[in-house]
């Protein structure tokens, strides 16, 4: 979340002294950022800023209202990049904008947030309400759709996919340790001696390495397209290299999220009832791994987008 939030700022720092100064402060003061693109009115498969409102009061000031149904590190992060409608949207929800707000400018709580696998990241609802200088707007009015795809989607998809791959590897490591050290005295066999357990582990390694290889390929491609993540060319508002491969990043996220869910289940089955024990370490990885499938854009949304674009053309997709 922090890296994706920073990416939204780097995308449009070029003509904004406030953002330039903030980027310096991130490293100097060790600030942590977060994102808020969610909306309570549109579910959690994907997000649509139906509840946000923005009005331009004068050339230098906007009044905005932003509801986030949940945000990681809500109330704990030092700064947030939030997605809203643009001041000029006029009912067109493809007119989006991003704003930079700070910890003391939001209302948030994670105290009553109780959710499967989400106990450790301080997730919770978030609200922003007030007047802000236009220097807080990231990019020109209506630029948010470009920022959403080029930065948030690209970084969130590649980085969370890497997390899911890592969790899958962690599940395999824990299960391997358990089944090689556990034995059934009645038959004189270790758990790992059963062919079915060997099949579980073998297939999980194969599938996970396929997902990891796709992630590596996407990272290489992104480095090539962006000259190793050079943000300078983005002074041209139409320079959108990451957007050109967004459909591949959708496929990566689907693959990694599906794989970690399947691998986690297999490794639980390999460990048997011991897999439920907290001290084994598998239980937490299972809970976190399951988040991959449902995290927006959910795998239901992604496979539909890929199928739709393959059958009717990419221009048939209307994200906003």
Task: Please check whether residues 88 and 123 belong to one and the same domain.
Answer: yes
Q: What is the CATH number of the domain that holds 163?
A: 1.20.140.10
Are 306 and 270 members of one domain? Answer: yes
Q: Which of residues 122, 141, 160 is at a domain's end?
A: 141
248 & 303 share domain: yes
CA gap 227, 241 in Å, rounded: 10
303 token code pair: 């496979």
CA atoms of 88 and 56, how far apart (whole Å):
8
Same domain? 235 vs 308: yes
Q: Phi-psi category of 31—alpha, beta or left, where left has phi over 0 and alpha has psi -120 to 50?
A: beta
The contacts of residue 161 (CB under 8 Å, 6+ apart) are 211, 215, 249, 252, 253, 255, 256, 257
Which domain CATH number covers 51?
Answer: 2.40.110.10
Phi first, then psi: give them for residue 305, nearest 5 degrees. Answer: -65, -45
Taking the C-alpha atoms of residue 206 and residue 203, their distance in angstroms, rounded to an integer, is: 5
Question: Which residue carries 């969130």 as its tokens?
Answer: 156
Following CA atoms 99, 104, 106, 111 in sequence, which dihedral angle do they give, to the nearest 10 degrees? Answer: 140
Neighbours of 277 (CB within 10 A): 12
Residues 271 and 161 in one domain: yes
Q: At what angle do helices 282-294 and 154-181 cross, to 10 degrees?
A: 150
133 lies in the same domain as 9: yes
Read off the tokens for 302: 């992604």
Structure-token match 């808020």, residue found:
36
State the total domains in the chain: 2
Same domain? 70 vs 163: no
Same domain, 174 and 278: yes
Tokens representing residue 184 in the block: 């059934």
Residue 265, Cβ neighbours under 10 Å: how many? Answer: 17
Instruction: Evaluate whether 105 touches 150 at the Cβ level (below 8 Å).
Output: no
Q: How far is CA 258 from CA 262, 289, 302, in A?
A: 6, 9, 12
Question: What would the two tokens of residue 27 be?
Answer: 């490293």
Decide: pTM greater than 0.75. yes
DSSP label of 149:
I
Domain boundary among 141, 175, 201: 141
Q: What is the rounded CA–CA span in Å between residue 169 and residue 282?
A: 11
Show the domain range for 229: 145-316
Residues 152 and 91 reside in one and the same domain: no
Specify the pLDDT at position 114. Answer: 67
Residue-by-residue pLDDT tens, the chain, 320 positions: 999 999 999 999 999 999 999 999 999 999 999 999 999 888 777 878 889 999 999 999 999 999 998 888 888 999 999 999 999 888 888 899 999 999 999 998 766 666 665 555 678 889 999 999 999 999 999 999 999 999 999 999 999 999 999 999 999 999 999 999 999 999 999 999 999 999 999 999 999 999 999 999 999 999 999 999 999 999 999 999 999 999 999 999 999 999 999 999 999 999 999 999 999 999 999 999 999 999 989 999 999 999 999 999 999 988 76
Residues 131, 107, single domain; the answer is: yes
Whether residues 128 and 149 share a domain: the answer is no
**How far is Cα 309 from Cα 201, in angstroms, rounded to an integer?**
35
Q: Of 119, 141, 163, which residue sits at a domain end?
A: 141
Contact 42, 300 (CB under 8 A): no
pLDDT at 118: 53
Residues 162 and 120 in one domain: no
């Amino acid at each position: 979340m922090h890296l994706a939030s920073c990416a939204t700022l780097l995308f449009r720092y070029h003509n904004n002294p406030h953002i330039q100064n903030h980027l310096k402060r991130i490293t100097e003061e060790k600030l942590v950022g977060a994102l808020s693109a969610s909306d309570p009115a549109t579910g959690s498969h994907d997000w649509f800023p139906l509840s946000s409102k923005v009005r331009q009061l004068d050339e230098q000031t906007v009044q905005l209202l932003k509801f986030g149904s949940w945000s990681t590190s809500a109330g704990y992060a030092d700064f947030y990049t939030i997605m809203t409608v643009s001041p000029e949207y006029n009912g067109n929800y493809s007119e989006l904008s991003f704003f930079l707000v700070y910890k003391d400018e939001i209302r948030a709580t994670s105290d009553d947030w109780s959710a499967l696998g989400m106990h450790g990241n301080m997730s919770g609802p978030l609200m922003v309400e007030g007047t802000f200088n236009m220097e807080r707007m990231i990019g020109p009015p209506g630029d948010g759709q470009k920022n959403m795809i080029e930065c948030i989607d690209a970084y969130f998809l590649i980085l969370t996919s890497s997390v899911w791959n890592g969790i899958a590897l962690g599940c395999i490591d824990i299960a391997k340790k358990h089944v090689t050290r556990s034995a059934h005295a009645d038959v004189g066999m270790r758990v790992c001696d059963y062919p079915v357990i060997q099949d579980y582990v073998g297939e999980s390694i194969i599938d996970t390495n396929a997902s990891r290889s796709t992630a590596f390929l996407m990272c290489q491609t992104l480095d090539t397209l962006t000259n190793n993540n050079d943000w300078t060319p983005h002074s041209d508002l139409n320079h959108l290299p990451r957007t050109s491969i967004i459909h591949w990043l959708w496929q990566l996220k689907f693959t990694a999220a599906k794989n970690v869910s399947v691998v986690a289940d297999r490794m639980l089955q390999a460990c048997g009832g011991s897999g439920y024990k907290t001290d084994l370490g598998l239980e937490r990885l299972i809970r976190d791994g399951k988040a991959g499938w449902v995290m927006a854009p959910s795998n239901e949304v992604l496979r539909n987008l890929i199928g739709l674009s393959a059958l009717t053309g990419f221009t048939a997709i209307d994200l906003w």
